C-alpha cells in the first residue's frame, strides 16, 4: 500500500511538472505568434527592428520581405521526405525534364536558349548545330572531337541537372524562410 502511494505521488509530481512546462510553452508560442503578426505591417516591422533586443527577432523583421518572397507552398510538405523525392515531385509537376531525347537537337537547342547561363546574342544567325556547340562551350562542356549528338547529350544532361539544382535551391530558400530562428 505504501509503495503504491509513493508511485501515485511521483506520478502527480510528474503531471504538475508537465502542466507547468506546457503552460510556459504555450506562453512562449503565443508571444512568438504575436511578434510574427507584427511583421505584416511595414511601419511596425521597422519599429520592431529598432527596439528588439533579440538578434534573431531583428533578423526576422529585417529579412521578412525577402523570406516571404521565398515561401512557396509547393515546397512545404507535411511529411518527412528526403530532398530528392521532393525535387522529383516538383520537377514532375512542372513538366520537367521537358526534353528527354538528346537526338532531337532542335529541342535541346531551344532548351539551351532558355538557360540563364547561356548568352544567346546572335543565335538567330547560327544553325542548330552551331547553337549546341556554342552553348556547350559557354558551359565548359567539351566539344573537341565530339559529334553534335554527343554534345547534345552532354548539354541536355547539364541543362536537366541545372533544373534540379534550381528546384533544390528554391527548396532550401523555402525551408530557410519557413523557419523561425
Cα within 13 Å of Cα(50), Cβ side: 5
pLDDT tens digit sequence for 101-151: 999 999 999 999 999 999 999 998 999 999 999 999 999 999 999 999 999
What's the whole-number mean pLDDT along residues 161-166? 93
Confidence check: pLDDT of 178 > 80: no
pLDDT given for residue 181 in this prediction: 44
pLDDT, the chain, mean:
83
Rounded Cα distance between 130 and 144, Å, is 13
Higher pLDDT, 164 or 57: 164
Q: In the predicted model, what is the mean pLDDT of residues 50-55?
A: 84
Q: What pLDDT sits at residue 126?
A: 95
Domain ranges of the chain: 2-62, 83-177
How many Å separate Cα 86 from the centre of its chain? Answer: 10
21 versus 58: the higher-pLDDT residue is 58
Average pLDDT, integer, range 55-70: 80
Q: In this predicted structure, which of 10-14, 42-46, 101-105 has the lowest mean pLDDT?
A: 10-14
> Greater confidence, 2 or 140?
140
The better pLDDT of the pair 51, 79 is held by: 51
DSSP structure string for the chain: -HHHHHHHHHHHHHHHHHHHHHHHHHHHHHHHHHHHHHTTSHHHHHHHHHH---HHHHHHHHTHHHHHHH--GGG--SS---HHHHHHHHHHHTT-S----TT-HHHHHHHHHT-TTS--TTGGGS-HHHHHHHHHHHTT---TT--HHHHHHHHHHHHHHHHHHHHHHHHHHHHHHT---
Q: Is it the case that residue 30 has pLDDT exceeding 80?
A: no
Identify the sign of the CA torsion 167, 111, 135, 120. Answer: negative
**pLDDT-wise least confident of 28-32, 61-65, 175-179:** 175-179
Q: What is the pLDDT of residues 78-98, one digit of tens each?
A: 555 677 888 888 888 888 888
Q: State the cell numbers at 172.
A: 532550401
pLDDT at 18 over 80: no
What is the mean pLDDT of the segment spanning 147-170? Answer: 93
In order of 63, 71, 105, 113, 178, the CA distances from 94 in angstroms are 28, 17, 22, 18, 22
Amino acid at each position: 500500500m505504501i509503495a503504491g502511494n509513493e508511485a501515485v505521488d511521483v506520478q502527480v509530481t510528474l503531471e504538475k511538472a508537465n502542466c507547468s512546462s506546457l503552460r510556459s510553452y504555450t506562453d512562449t508560442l503565443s508571444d512568438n505568434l504575436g511578434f510574427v503578426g507584427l511583421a505584416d505591417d511595414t511601419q511596425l516591422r521597422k519599429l520592431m527592428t529598432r527596439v528588439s533586443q533579440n538578434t534573431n527577432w531583428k533578423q526576422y523583421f529585417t529579412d521578412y520581405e525577402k523570406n516571404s518572397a521565398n515561401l512557396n507552398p509547393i515546397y512545404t510538405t507535411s511529411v518527412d521526405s528526403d530532398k530528392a523525392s521532393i525535387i522529383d515531385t516538383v520537377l514532375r509537376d512542372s513538366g520537367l525534364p521537358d526534353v528527354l531525347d538528346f537526338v532531337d537537337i532542335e529541342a535541346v537547342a531551344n532548351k539551351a536558349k532558355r538557360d540563364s547561363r547561356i548568352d544567346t546574342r546572335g543565335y538567330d544567325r547560327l544553325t542548330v548545330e552551331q547553337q549546341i556547340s556554342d552553348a556547350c562551350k559557354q558551359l565548359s562542356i567539351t566539344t573537341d572531337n565530339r559529334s553534335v549528338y554527343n554534345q547534345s547529350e552532354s548539354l541536355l544532361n547539364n541543362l536537366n541537372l541545372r533544373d534540379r539544382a534550381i528546384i533544390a535551391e528554391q527548396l532550401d530558400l523555402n525551408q530557410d524562410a519557413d523557419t523561425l530562428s
